[in-house]
Structures are given as C-alpha cells and as structure tokens.
Amino acid sequence: MAGGASTPALAAAVSDAGGVGFLAAGYKTAAAMREDIAATRGRTSRPFGMNVFMPSLDGIDDGAVAAYRDRLVPEAERLGVDLGTPSARDDDYTAKIADLLDDPPAFVSFTFGCPTVDVIRAFQDRGTTVVVTVTSTDEARAASAADVLCVQGAEAGGHRGSFTNSVDGALPLRELLRLVRDLVPHPLIAAGGLATSEDVAEILSLGAAAAQVGTAFVRCPESGASAVHKAALADPRFISTAMTRAFSGRPARGLVNRFLTEHSAQAPAAYPDVHFITAPLRRAAAAQGDPDVVNLWAGEAFRLAPEAPAAEIVEMLSR
C-alpha cells in the first residue's frame, strides 16, 4: 500500500501473525525502499514481500495534462499551495530492481505491468517468489513467467494494477478469478473487497491460493495512512466508492468525496503526471484535516475495515 499505509511495523505484524506482509516501494526512492526492508528484518524473522510499480509505458497527452492543471488552480489557491510539477515516470525502477536483486526479500510483487523474463528469472534464481498483479485474462497470459499471479478484481481499493491506464472491462473478482483459474496453472492470490473470514473462505473455495487484503488494514495502528484517511473510512458521510483518475491519472478506487466528484470526468489518463500535479493538494488537505481533497483509497467493503491491531485482523480473517 504505497503512499503511506504500508510500514515496516505493519508488514512485520502481518507476517508475525501468520500472513505475508508486504512493503510498498511505490513513490519511494530505492534508498528508502532498502531502509524499509532493513527495518522490517529488524522486526520479524518471518517471510515478507516488497511491491514494485512497473514504469508507466502509456503515452501522455501533454495538452490534456495542461488543461487539467489549469482546472486545478482554484483548488491550489484555496489550500494555499502551488500545484506540483510532473517528474520522472519510472519510479526509480532500475535502481530498485538492482537493489532487490542484491538482497531480495522472500516475495517481490509487481503492479502496473510485468517485468521482463530476464528480471523474473533473476529473482527466481535467488529463491524469491515473483508475483505479478493482473486485472484481465490478457494480462494473466502475458505474466506467465511469474510464479504467482495476484488477480485483482474491480472491487479493490487503491490503484488498479492493470498494465495500462485504461479502466475498460474491469471485472469483479469472482468472475475474473474463474476466468484466470481456467486459463493458467499458476497459484492465484485473490484481491478486491475481501474483508471477513467468510469472504476469505469463499475465495479459497473458488480456487485462490491466498487472499490479499488492503483496505482492511488501513485503520490499524501500524498503518501509516493519514489520520484523515483513517477517519474517513469510518465516517458515515462517505457512503460509497468509485474508480477515478482524478488524483493520479490512473484508475484507482476511493471514497467518493468532493474532489473525485468534481474532477473525475475531466481527468486525463496521464499517470504519473497527474499524481505529481495533485500531490501538494493532497498533502495540504490531509494536513488541514480536509478529506474532500485527499485520495481516500478504499475497496468496496471499506465499511468493514476495523480499527484493530494488524495481528487481530489477520486472526479475524483466518478464523
């Protein structure tokens, strides 16, 4: 859970409780990623994973980005900040891969695409299990060199892990899992809207080898999500989630707030440029306690996310 929620304390607590905790490399430098791995190793001797964003390959329409930027100027003025400037689109991928190959954790997972077969093999040669997130049968086919596929349904909170910025054909988890299960022999991790032990038991009965859970951990004390984000998940004012490009230029599911409602229709498919442009808005709004301009990532089952220690949540899900 890039963007703050994932911490060494959360990953270690999940692994210690019998799950597999994942750290997030997304938006971080390779050096910060290394520090998180060291901190997690200091907290647990159990296996854990690192999640890496693939560099964005989509073409970006600079004119559409400029128009969206202009649209957001009043938001910036209201919050008293300047809009951000688009920066590197590769999320320090090459340096992260080099560092991870040097000293890998037990699992490495990829989202927003699939690494080359050479990179996958290099991790496998080191005994690391390679997971690739897929959101369609085409992506499942393209990721066949991976050891395990994470099948992410449309219910999932946060970014869609699809290989492109497109949201076309987002399938619900159970339907996608059945299709992928019949297509590839890989063990499958199911992700999206899983929040109870009944959900986990059901998804395992449909052929998943494991359940991946994000939103259910956002409110726990080990999560580094902002106070605004944690509070919004339990705030009766927020009644639903929607998929939007408004915050980052890539489809992601979050609580329906004012920013999402007012800007989704105009937001271009331009990740990560839009992510950089809106970053100061989101930061300032979180600091000012204003949930209406924060990307409140949440899966469809967000109402069931408990405020409880991570170990208790793992225990609750595996009951």
Binding site for ligand FMN (CB under 6 A): 1-3, 5, 24, 26, 51, 111, 133, 152, 155-159, 161, 191-194, 212-216, 218, 297, 299, 301
Q: Return the number of the residue (76 or 300) whose C-beta is nearest ligand FMN.
A: 300
Sheet strands (E) in the chain: 22-24, 49-53, 107-111, 129-134, 148-152, 158-159, 188-191, 210-212, 241-244, 252-255
Q: Return the number of the residue (115 or 161) whose C-beta is nearest ligand FMN.
A: 161
Positive or negative CA dihedral for 244, 250, 253, 259? negative
- Selection from 31, 23, 21 nearest residue 4 by Cα: 23
Provide the b/e sequence for 186-212 (b: ≥16 CB within 10 Å).
bebbbbbbbbeeebbeebeeeebebbb
Q: Return the number of the residue (76 or 295) whose C-beta is nearest ligand FMN.
A: 295
Amino acid at 237: R
Q: Output the smallest distance, CB 219 to ligand FMN, in A.
A: 11
Q: Output the smallest distance, CB 74 to ligand FMN, in A.
A: 27
Q: Output the smallest distance, CB 111 to ligand FMN, in A.
A: 3
Phi, psi values for residue 207, rounded to 5°: 110, 0
Q: Return the number of the residue (54 or 76) whose C-beta is nearest ligand FMN.
A: 54
Q: Output the smallest distance, CB 44 to ligand FMN, in A.
A: 20
Provide the b/e sequence for 32-47 (b: ≥16 CB within 10 Å).
ebbebbeebeebbebe
Residue 77's contacts (CB-CB under 8 Å, 6 or more residues apart) are: none
Q: Return the number of the residue (2 or 180) whose C-beta is nearest ligand FMN.
A: 2
> Collapsing DSSP states into helix, strand and coil, what is residue 38?
helix
- Distance of alpha carbon 172 from alpha carbon 266, whole angstroms: 25
Phi, psi values for residue 268, rounded to 5°: -80, 160
Q: Output the smallest distance, CB 9 to ligand FMN, in A.
A: 16
The position carrying tokens 């902002």 is 226
Q: Output the smallest distance, CB 62 to ligand FMN, in A.
A: 26
Q: Output the smallest distance, CB 303 to ligand FMN, in A.
A: 11
Q: Return the number of the residue (69 or 291) whose C-beta is nearest ligand FMN.
A: 291
Q: Return the number of the residue (3 or 69) whose C-beta is nearest ligand FMN.
A: 3
